[in-house]
């Protein structure tokens, strides 16, 4: 693979991730010292998660390529994203269950209800072919799943999560709107252990390997396809989706908000752009916001492309854990901080939903106090103007 100068920018002296064990405290302990236990490292889980997310990314790329090449495709036809969404979820679910056949719990976005309705047989067959082609593509599996196997694999994602035991958390395509537009999307997979996110993998098939800004995000010269992964206490790493050359990444060290660049959703329906522009104005941020879809924003932030991510949904919206779990650990292990708009840490232990005060904000440790102040003032200003 051609390694560009931009790629080398991310390389740190330690590019090889050593195998690791780490200490953890039992959640019920009153004193850390009295009940320190040796926890297994999650190396086997992270290897399986990387493989599953990478294969799912290939499946999605194949569908997106066909979608963009097809000129008969109606703009409103959601079939391609439907096929890729379900296919990605079936593939990841099957691979994880194959790897961890004992107790298995998956909290995932999709279910098979619509696929079991009359008239859905053709689409289920398309999904099944896609999944089988993907599983056998590199010779790792020699299985042929039936349509019922695929529906069952999709429905394995019905777990509610929670604070006990282990739960995989999957968004098979995050950024469906971006996927349909030919823009950014991500396959986001994380593992919860006793309510905490302990590992996360983000496959971002359209994210340039090089630094992105508002100006260059659609440059045709950019090589694209990034895989981010992080394990609790072990830092965040990035590799090209088609290679294993891994680099450790860090969030931006920018301390002056005037030099910070700010990421937000492309879709104004997902995050209030007027509110984030007020916050940016208060901070003195000079650059225009970088608007991209999906948890690719967390990936880009983890390597310092921007310094701030604001997600301020409209009133009443409830965030789901699969939209944030993988991105959260990718950013925090790279040195970033993720809180709600009141500065509270995110709690992934309460089931499918995150109970939040107003929104999610992400930045580095140095900028967080300034950002929180600007967010609070902007929210107050907005409330008093209503």
Ligand X SMILES: Nc1ncnc2c1ncn2[C@@H]1O[C@H](COP(=O)(O)O)[C@@H](OP(=O)(O)O)[C@H]1O
Q: State the pairing for strand pair 166-174/196-208.
A: unpaired
Choice between 166 and 177, CB closer to ligand X: 177
Over the range 282-302, which residues count as b (16 or more CB within 10 Å of their CB) and which as e?
Answer: bbebebebbbbbbbbbbbbbb
Write out the E strands in 26-105.
36-39
- Catalytic hit among 85, 183, 193, 293: 85
Binding mask 14-53 toward Mg ion (x if CB under 5 A, else -) reads ----------------------------------------
Window contacting Mg ion (CB under 5 A); options: 101-109, 123-131, 146-154, 240-248 = 101-109
Window contacting Mg ion (CB under 5 A); options: 93-101, 142-150, 206-214, 315-323 = 315-323
Rounded least distance, CB 106 to ligand X, Å: 15
Rounded least distance, CB 158 to ligand X, Å: 17
Q: In the bound complex, which residue of the shown chain has the CB atom lying closest to ligand X? A: 265
Choose, by CB under 5 A, the member of 45, 109, 193, 305 that binds Mg ion.
Answer: 109
Angle at 231 between CA 225 and CA 214, to 5 degrees: 35
With tokens 């107003």, the residue in question is 358
Tokens at 373, concatenated:
């102040």
Q: Which does 160 bind (CB under 5 to 8 A by kind): ligand X, Mg ion, none?
A: none
With tokens 């703009």, the residue in question is 75
Choose, by CB under 5 A, the member of 155, 193, 323, 340 that binds Mg ion.
Answer: 323
Tokens at 231, concatenated:
């394990």
Measure the CA–CA gap between 238 and 215, rounded to whole angstroms. 22
Choice between 45 and 171, CB closer to Mg ion: 171
Choice between 21 and 317, CB closer to ligand X: 317
**What is the C-alpha radius of gyration for the chain, rounded to an integer number of angstroms?**
20
Cβ-proximal residues to 119 (8 Å cutoff; 6+ apart), any chain: none
Q: Is 128 known to be catalytic?
A: no
Binding residues: 109, 171, 173-174, 323
Residue 71: strand, helix, or coil: coil
Q: How many CB atoms lie within 10 A of CB 6?
A: 15
Choice between 167 and 248, CB closer to ligand X: 167
Check: CB of residue 125 under 8 Å from CB of residue 340.
Answer: no
Binding residues for Mg(2+): 109, 171, 173-174, 323
Q: Which does 45 bind (CB under 5 to 8 A by kind): Mg ion, ligand X, none?
A: none
Which of 186, 221, 378, 194 lies closest to 301, judged by CA?
186
Q: Which does 54 bind (CB under 5 to 8 A by kind): ligand X, Mg ion, none?
A: none
Q: State the pairing for strand pair 236-240/247-249.
A: antiparallel
- Catalytic hit among 176, 236, 339, 363: 176
Q: Judged by CB under 5 A, does residue 231 bind Mg ion? A: no
Choice between 174 and 333, CB closer to Mg ion: 174
Binding site for ligand X (CB under 6 A): 109, 171, 173-176, 178, 265, 267, 269-270, 293-294, 313-314, 317, 320, 323
Q: Is 85 known to be catalytic?
A: yes
Tokens at 235, concatenated:
């830092």
Choice between 109 and 155, CB closer to Mg ion: 109
Measure the CA–CA gap between 324 and 60, rounded to whole angstroms. 20
Choose, by CB under 5 A, the member of 56, 124, 154, 171 that binds Mg ion.
Answer: 171
Q: Which does 293 bind (CB under 5 to 8 A by kind): ligand X, Mg ion, none?
A: ligand X
Rounded least distance, CB 194 to Mg ion, Å: 24
Choice between 248 and 297, CB closer to ligand X: 297
Q: Which does 265 bind (CB under 5 to 8 A by kind): ligand X, Mg ion, none?
A: ligand X
Check: CB of residue 263 under 8 Å from CB of residue 317.
Answer: no
Is the torsion defined by CA of 320, 335, 195, 44 positive or negative?
positive
Measure the CA–CA gap between 206 and 217, rounded to whole angstroms. 10
Q: Which does 270 bind (CB under 5 to 8 A by kind): ligand X, Mg ion, none?
A: ligand X
Measure the CA–CA gap between 355 and 347, rounded to whole angstroms. 7
Q: State the pairing for strand pair 224-231/236-240.
A: antiparallel
Give residues in contact with Mg ion (CB under 5 A): 109, 171, 173-174, 323
Catalytic residues: 85, 176
């Amino acid at each position: 693979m051609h390694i560009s100068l931009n790629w080398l920018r991310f390389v740190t002296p330690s590019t090889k991730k050593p195998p690791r064990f780490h200490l953890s405290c039992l959640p019920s302990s009153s004193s850390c010292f009295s009940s320190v236990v040796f926890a297994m490292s999650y190396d086997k889980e992270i290897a399986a998660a990387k493989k599953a997310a990478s294969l799912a990314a290939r499946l999605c790329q194949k569908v997106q390529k066909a979608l963009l090449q097809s000129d008969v495709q109606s703009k409103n036809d959601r079939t391609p994203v439907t096929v890729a969404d379900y296919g990605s979820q079936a593939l990841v679910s099957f691979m994880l269950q194959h790897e961890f056949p004992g107790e298995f719990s998956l909290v995932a976005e999709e279910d098979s209800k619509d696929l079991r309705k009359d008239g859905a047989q053709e689409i289920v067959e398309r999904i099944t072919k896609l999944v089988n082609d993907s599983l056998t593509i590199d010779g790792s599996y020699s299985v042929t799943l039936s349509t019922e196997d695929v529906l069952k694999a999709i429905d394995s994602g019905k777990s509610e999560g929670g604070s006990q035991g282990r739960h995989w958390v999957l968004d098979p395509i995050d950024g469906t709107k971006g996927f349909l537009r030919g823009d950014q999307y991500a396959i986001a997979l994380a593992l919860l252990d006793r309510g905490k996110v302990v590992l996360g993998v983000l496959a971002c098939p359209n994210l340039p390997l090089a630094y992105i800004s508002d100006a260059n995000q659609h440059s045709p010269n950019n090589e694209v396809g990034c895989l981010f992964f992080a394990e609790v206490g072990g830092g965040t790493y990035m590799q090209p989706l088609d290679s294993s050359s891994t680099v450790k990444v860090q969030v931006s060290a920018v301390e002056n908000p005037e030099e910070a660049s700010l990421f937000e959703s492309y879709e104004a329906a997902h995050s209030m752009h007027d509110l984030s522009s007020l916050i940016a104005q208060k901070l003195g941020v000079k650059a225009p916001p970088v608007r991209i879809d999906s948890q690719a924003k967390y990936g880009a932030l983890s390597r310092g492309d921007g310094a701030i991510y604001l997600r301020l949904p409209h009133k009443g919206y409830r965030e789901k854990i699969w939209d944030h779990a993988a991105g959260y650990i990718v950013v925090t292990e790279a040195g970033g901080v993720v809180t709600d708009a009141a500065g509270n840490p995110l709690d992934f232990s309460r089931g499918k939903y995150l109970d939040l005060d107003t929104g999610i904000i992400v930045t580095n440790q140095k900028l967080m106090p300034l950002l929180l102040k600007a967010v609070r003032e902007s929210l107050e200003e907005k409330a008093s103007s209503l």
